[in-house]
Amino acid sequence: GYLSKQIKTCSEALMGIGLIKYREGSLDDAVSIWKKALTFDPKNRDVKKAIDKATVQLQKLKNIK
């Protein structure tokens, strides 16, 4: 009950903070924050997709440099 709600709240908050970092262009920070979100909710598909997308973008940026 209570603990599950708190865990969900933490996961959602971290997802939101990660999105802010992503939109700011801080992809490394976003991925790091999203990985923390997975510790609260390891099955969260949205977080996993966000990590995958940002990781691909980071790789492309490294290939350009």
Residues 45, 21, 11, 31: is their CA dihedral positive or negative?
Answer: positive
- pLDDT in the model for residue 62: 87
CA dist., res. 11 & res. 36, Å (int)? 8
CA dist., res. 31 & res. 48, Å (int)? 10
Its pTM stands at 0.87
CA dist., res. 57 & res. 45, Å (int)? 18
CA dist., res. 14 & res. 30, Å (int)? 9
CA dist., res. 60 & res. 54, Å (int)? 10
Q: How confident is the prediction along the chain (65 residues), in pLDDT tens digits per residue?
A: 999 999 989 999 999 999 999 999 999 999 999 999 999 889 999 999 999 999 999 999 989 87
